[in-house]
Amino acid sequence: MSSISGSPATGAKTRGGPSRLGSSIAFEWTKLTSVRSTWWNVTISSVVTIALGLLLGGSMKASADNGYDVAMPAPHVAFQSLIAAQFLVMVMATLFIASEYTSGSIKTTLQSVPVRARMLFGKVAVIAAIGLVIGVVQSTIGTAAIALLAGDYSSFTATELSLTILGSAVDFALLGITALGLATAFRSATGTIIATVGLFGLPRIVPIFNIEWLTDFSQYFPTEAGTVLGLQTTAPYGWSTATLVLLAWAATALTAGYAVLHIRDA
């Protein structure tokens, strides 16, 4: 039996607060990127975005050629087609923690990073970064796919494009964090995904009931706020309120997740 201390265990790097946080982020990054389902998720949502973009672009061109007025800036059309991509980012964030409870690897995680807040922050940082990147990439490829087929009928300005890219990035990152917080609280993928479907679907269903306060409230659901950012609309509120609304959802979900993490046994 060879001794276990064959190579030095301690690196030469200095210790300290920020580096502990950094190592927890590196840990979570390694986990997320070394699991195949992450890459499937990214691939599927890109394929869906491109396919939807081509479909929308093609039908815009066909309608416009037939004399209908369907002209709309490509980035805005693209954002509306990103609903599947948004949902998949939330699924990714959900599985990021829920699968740790299913597989039992949460024990390894908390053994490695025992401070709950630091562990959760590591995951938040990784999901935020991934969400930002996916938001940028998806809105860009969606715009390109639409512009490719719709041509002049989807002309847009550089400002429109940059604002939609920025809005998507912020939207995706904060949606991801919201799902992460919910999944940390629920500890189950099924429960969290049902809640996510509710967050997406309720604003569409609620107006049917014609209850005024409920309809008002549903305007503050994350997808509605995300749409304000993606399309740069001013109703029902502007971009600053929309950002605050998304931040509030993310903060609430994270607080719930942290509370459960703090109180319950692993």
Partner 1 sequence: MIVLADLTKRYGEKTAVDHLSFQIQPGVVTGFLGPNGAGKSSTMRMILGLDRPTAGTVEIAGRPYRDIAYPLRTIGALLDPRTGHPGQSARSHLLGMARSNRLPSSRVDHVLGAVGLAEVARKRIGSFSLGMGQRLGIASALLGDPQIVMLDEPVNGLDPDGVVWIRKLMRSLAAEGRTVFVSSHLMSEMQETADHLIVIGRGALIADAPIDQVIAQSTRNSVKVRSPQTASLREALERAGMTVTTLEDSELQVTAGNLDQVGAIAFSIGAQVDELAFHRPSLEQAYLELTADSLEYDAILPRPTGT
Residues engaged in binding partner 1 (CB under 8 A):
1-11, 13, 15, 19-20, 23-24, 26-28, 30-31, 34-37, 99-100, 103-105, 107-108, 110-115, 265-266
- Identity of the residue, 23 or 63, whose beta carbon is nearer to partner 1 in the bound complex: 23
CA–CA separation, 83 and 227 (whole Å): 10
Q: Is 157 exposed, middle or buried (0-12, 13-18, 19+ CB in 10 A)?
A: exposed
Smallest separation, CB 62 to partner 1 (Å): 43
Q: Phi and psi of 31, rounded to 5°? A: -65, -50
CA–CA separation, 144 and 105 (whole Å): 40
Smallest separation, CB 92 to partner 1 (Å): 13
- Identity of the residue, 17 or 67, whose beta carbon is nearer to partner 1 in the bound complex: 17
CA–CA separation, 198 and 207 (whole Å): 14
Smallest separation, CB 114 to partner 1 (Å): 4
Which residues, other chains included, contact 74 with Cβ-Cβ below 8 Å and sequence gap of 6+?
Answer: 57, 143, 146, 147, 150, 154, 155, 156, 161
- Identity of the residue, 7 or 66, whose beta carbon is nearer to partner 1 in the bound complex: 7
- Identity of the residue, 118 or 140, whose beta carbon is nearer to partner 1 in the bound complex: 118
Smallest separation, CB 130 to partner 1 (Å): 16
